[in-house]
Amino acid sequence: MDKRVVEFIRTLRAAGVRISVAESADAMDAVNTIGVFERDIFRNALKTTLVKEKDDGPTFEHFFPLFFETGAPPMFNMEQELSPEQQNMLQQALQSMMGNVEALQQLLQQLMKGQQFSQDQLDQLGQMVGLPDANSQYQDSYYQRMMQRALGMQQLDELLEQLQEALEALGMSEEAIEQIMEMMQANREALAEQISKYVGSSIARNMAEQPPPEPQDLMNTPFQYLSSEDADALRDELKRLAARLRSRSALRQKRAKDGNPDPKGTIRNNLRYGGVPMEIKFRDRHLKPRLVLICDISTSMRYCAEFMLTLLYELQDQVAKTRSFIFIDDMHEISDFFKADRPEVAVQNVLNTHRPGSYNTDLGNSLQTFFNENLDALDSRTTVIILGDGRNNYNDPRLDLAYDMRRRSRRLLWFNPEPESQWSIGDSDMHQYAPISSGVYQVRNLAQLVDAIDRIMADG
């Protein structure tokens, strides 16, 4: 139990709850004193010693049952609940439906027999959807949906309706059909709850195994680990960072006002003078970039999108033109927000107007909207920056549109917080977008984001 409590504390810290060494020791002493047999007393002892801020209460309540409640949801064994005649009719109905849904046979049998998923089944599904790489509590619902989709539970709902019709056709009584459907639905909900607990526990373990970074090094803190207080501190730092980037960019513009000397061009041009450098040639001057920003603002990307938009709009005197777009499941232009307010205010207005919710990220559909409505934003001088993790919820990535976007622009760059090792895991299409792109920058934290923006401004 001591090991479980230690992992629980590490997970709370990874989720942003501030817990000192002394408070961890107090929690261990409390557990040793009151024991673990009275659940409510045990829970209150941990909460009293570990939680100091009101805002941390929901985080505690989210993770506590994942570490200290292991009971699986009960299920009905319908073979015991139904009469032999009803069982025979149910089997006939199921067999009549199996022609086109062979992949759902095992799931239907589990529902009928009240069998829970085995640990091996859950582990294989988790591997299939990339659950071992999940390390944030905000990814919980996403991976639940992915595992249910991999199992075919959405098709299962349609199949249960067909089952009811098949039983009616076989002449089963309305009362018996209602009983069967209630047990089937109850078992389906129990399996969904089992998936939910498995996903939550897996993410909690992943978070516990990855100690949070040093709190003072916020520039190198991954965006997913930032607390609201950390984000506020970085917002205060953005003006200083923007001023530094602006100074660098302005210095480049000054040095390149007349272009840099071109020794090779000078030699070639002065061959007519016997190689004597009578006329000095210069390279073309540094041009201010024209930018099109396309930002994913789903829950996992919001801090990264906020900081990138703020920094780039602080540098508008070093940019020829910028048009900005955001997407989750569809594309929206937000350029007008930045015409009336300061960048930091405009960004908050954008995020408040487009709040996260139960959306499915769909870059392919968003690109189609861009091509339908905003194709005039692209020309041969435009640098397109797509900020996103390349995860499309198994929707069509529309690689043809991404290729056409690169062809119409000067270059197409990706800012992605995920490492290359995760590009082909689960619903990620990044391994297909990367070869189409002119380059990919990893922007896992603010230091990497600032470096990427500086490089782009240097190569206007």
SS (H, E, C) 165-217: HHHHHCCCCHHHHHHHHHHHHHHHHHHHHHHHHHHHHHHHHHHHHCCCCCCCC
* Residue where the block lists tokens 């000054």: 254
The yes-or-no verdict on residue 86 having pLDDT over 80 is no
pLDDT at 409: 94
- How many Å apart are CA 77 and CA 36, to the nearest integer? 32
The yes-or-no verdict on residue 36 having pLDDT over 50 is yes
Mean pLDDT of 352-374: 86
User: Which helix (DSSP H) or strand (DSSP E) does residue 436 occupy?
Assistant: helix 430-436
Q: What is the pLDDT of residues 404-436, one digit of tens each?
A: 999 999 999 999 999 888 888 878 899 999 999
Which fold, 223-255+287-458? Rossmann fold (3.40.50)
Domains of the chain by residue range: 2-69, 78-209, 223-255+287-458
Q: What is the pTM of this model?
A: 0.58
Q: What is the pLDDT of residues 147-171, one digit of tens each?
A: 877 777 766 777 777 777 777 777 7
Range with the lowest mean pLDDT among 100-109, 146-155, 341-350, 401-410? 100-109
For residue 383, give the nearest of 411, 358, 403, 408 by alpha carbon.
411
The yes-or-no verdict on residue 118 having pLDDT over 50 is yes
Mean pLDDT of 377-402: 92
- How many Å apart are CA 72 and CA 189, to the nearest integer? 12
Q: What is the DSSP string of 404-416?
A: HHHHHSSEEEEEE
